Amino acid sequence: MTPSLVYALTPGEPAGIGPDLCLLLAADAQPQALVAIASRALLTERTALLGLDVSLLDVNPGAWPRVPAPAGALYVWDTPLRAPVQPGRLDPANAAYVLETLTRAGQGCLDGTFAGMITAPVHKGVINDAGIAFSGHTEFLADLTGTPQVVMMLATQGLRVALVTTHLPLKDVAAALQPERLERVARILHADLRDKFGIPAPRILVCGLNPHAGEGGHLGREEIEVIEPVLARLRDEGLDLVGPLPADTLFTPKHLDHCDAVLAMYHDQGLPVLKYKGFGAAVNVTLGMPIVRTSVDHGTALDLAGSGRIDSGSLKVALDTAYRMTARRP
């Protein structure tokens, strides 16, 4: 039998729904070997709380699984908590635990142990409360992999949205919109749509920054001074980039029916539309890194942790996307 590829699954914030999602996945057999990098004690406690019948199968470096776990079982690489966990109650003491799971997964992808990593949601605030500067999975994994520029893209059925800037205060976005950044992001998006998603000639719609895409400079000059020159230069190289277009009319069938992705200038310009269209059935993909990383489209849902009233749809989409992305790699 051909050995299965091995993928890393990180449960994110231990007081949130991430551990619950990992356990719910175990109800069905996966097509590949999936290893939860998590506290075994935490998963045991959450299994009992949820009334699930899940067998936790211990694995560790040097003894990785060669076949997928059967239905009702989950491979676990035990990663100890720093403090006991109560569902729904954040504890900065466990920030280091969360980052350790991400580091193990990311390093495993870099050294070829894992074919890719799938992440459940973290809580940025509690990690910062622990005195650790942290702005999100995307930025953390960029540092870990030594990638100078990565791109955050969310996707659901019929729509992909990538971001030029990610987790920045709105007041800082215009200053961050530099030609070099925009060019790097556009190139990464084009390359990964082609190489990781199998789209031979991606067509990308580009949002303006300002209302009405600047209204000819009357509502801001970023379109004229930054966005349009970059797009023109890249079009000369053969990239199919349309814009800058007003964001309030770009997200309509007239435009979306004829594109492969939208490039938005900032977080809340593009993601509210995507999440309205596909919340719970969308995936967060980090582009531009030497590893495959996908994630859910939602947060930690602290109020639902341990309740059993959750939907694992987004995590299943994240898994399926990771499997398909690695299948396209040489």
- DSSP for 150-207? -EEEEEETTEEEEESS-S--GGGHHHH--HHHHHHHHHHHHHHHHHTT--SS-EEEEE
The torsion angles phi and psi of 247, rounded to 5 degrees, stand at -65, -25
Q: State yes or no: 123 annotated in a binding site.
A: no
Q: State yes or no: 210 annotated in a binding site.
A: no
Using DSSP, state whether 296 is helix, strand or coil.
coil
CA distances from 171 to 156, 166, 266 (A): 29, 13, 11
Residue carrying structure tokens 């994994």: 141
Burial zone of 252 (CB within 10 Å; 0-12 exposed, 13-18 middle, 19+ buried): exposed
Q: State yes or no: 300 annotated in a binding site.
A: no
List 43's β-bridge partners, or say none. none
Cβ atoms of 243 and 196 within 8 Å: the answer is no
Residues 134, 140, 144, 148: what is their CA dihedral angle, to the nearest 10 degrees?
-110
Using DSSP, state whether 121 is helix, strand or coil.
coil
Q: State yes or no: 255 annotated in a binding site.
A: no
CA–CA–CA angle 119, 121, 123 (5° rounding):
135
Q: State yes or no: 284 annotated in a binding site.
A: yes
The enclosing H or E element of 80 equals none
CA atoms within 13 A on the CB side of 35: 30
Q: State yes or no: 233 annotated in a binding site.
A: no
CA distances from 294 to 42, 43, 116, 141, 260 (A): 23, 22, 8, 11, 18
**Binding region for a divalent metal cation:** 167, 212, 267
**Binding region:** 137-138, 167, 212, 267, 275, 284, 293
**Binding region for substrate:** 137-138, 275, 284, 293
